[in-house]
Amino acid sequence: MSLFERALANVVSQATGDYASIAQNDPVVISGEDGTTRGDYLDLLQEAQRKERKKLWDQVYRLEEEQKQRVFSSNNDENPMNKVETDASRKKLATLMYQYSDLEREVAAERGRFGEECENRPEDTILEIEFREQLDQQIQQYNQAIDFLKEDLRNVKETLKLEKKALSECTELYTALKAKEKEIIEENNLAREVNPDQLRESQAILENMFKNDQDDLIDFLDEYYPPHPVDESTGILDAESDLKNILEDLMNKALGTPEDPYIELVPGTYWTPYIQTLVKANILKFHPEDSKMVRLEDFR
């Protein structure tokens, strides 16, 4: 038996000797994910790996038993067929050992990764605190939304109250206008029924009243606002400004051409205090762009 065969025999014997304790007693890792869906899935992966390791250990054990019977316990039988079978068994044994070594590395890597995830996974207390914070934030947002809706509801109620008040005022105004319209219609109907002779008499009365008022106005102006010398001399001796003439010109302009009721204040034809008196009494109004143009106020 060569040195390699002895070493291989010792490795196989030691491996089969530890078979009972290694193949049947897997290390147990306590994790925070026990009982969860992910933990159950990892348990299934470990169970599949355990079965695969057990299968490999069983094959190693069988090969060791075969080697004992065919190679190491046959007094170095030189039968060529036995030698061929021994070489094939050695190759198969080496392949199984490499497979076992790769499987062990994969198991170690999976355990390391699983251990890191367990270490990095936050505790249930931290998760509960984060959940409570999120819940408090949502409750605070809902309370703010409720306050905003309440304020909006108050504004809507105030607006509705004002709208109802405006509607009531419009209704009253509409009722008053309808009554006024009815009154005007009735007056017009009565006016159509009036005798023409009565209309002429009324017109004569109005004209007489107008003439009397005009005479009273002229007498008032002659007494309190007599003619006064003009501001500037134009070469004409005794040139005077008569207030009633100014008012007459303004009234004729307002009645004759209401679209252009302005008259021009020609220098040397008026006395300034009279013009200022009419302006202060809200009878006269200057042109907005020309201070030499004046007109009567609109008394409508």
Co-location of 206 and 298 in the same domain: no
Asked whether the predicted pLDDT for residue 137 surpasses 50, the reply is yes
Q: Are residues 63 and 24 in the same domain?
A: yes
176-214 pLDDT, tens per residue? 999 999 988 888 776 666 667 777 888 889 888 988 888
Say what the pLDDT of residue 72 is: 45
pTM: 0.33
The total number of structural domains in the chain stands at 4
Range of the domain at 268: 227-300
Q: Which of 88, 105, 121 is the last residue of a domain?
A: 121
**Helix extents (H) in the chain:** 3-17, 19-24, 37-67, 80-120, 124-192, 196-224, 243-256, 272-280
Same domain, 200 and 286: no
Query: Do 187 and 245 share a domain, yes or no?
Result: no
Give the C-alpha separation, 99 to 56, whole Å: 8
**Domain end call among 69, 87, 121:** 121
- Give the pLDDT confidence of 140-175 residue by residue, as tens digits: 999 999 999 999 999 999 999 999 999 999 999 999
- State residue 221's pLDDT score: 82
What percent of the chain is predicted at pLDDT more than 90?
Answer: 16
Query: Same structural domain for residues 68 and 160?
Result: no
Q: What is the pLDDT of residues 26-74, one digit of tens each?
A: 555 555 556 666 667 677 777 777 787 777 777 766 776 666 565 544 4
Residue with more model confidence, 158 or 269: 158
> Across residues 3-29, what is the average pLDDT?
57
Residues 6+ apart with CB under 8 A from 107: 49, 53
**Quick one: 7 and 114 in the same domain?**
yes
Q: Does residue 179 share a domain with residue 116? A: no
209 and 279, same structural domain?
no
Residues 203 and 233 grouped into a single domain:
no
Residue 247: CB partners within 8 Å, gap ≥ 6?
A: 221, 278, 283
Of the candidates 79, 102, 121, which is a domain's last residue? 121
pLDDT at 39: 67
Q: Examine the domain organization and report whether 113 and 8 are in the same domain.
A: yes
- Strand 240-241, strand 228-229: pairing: antiparallel
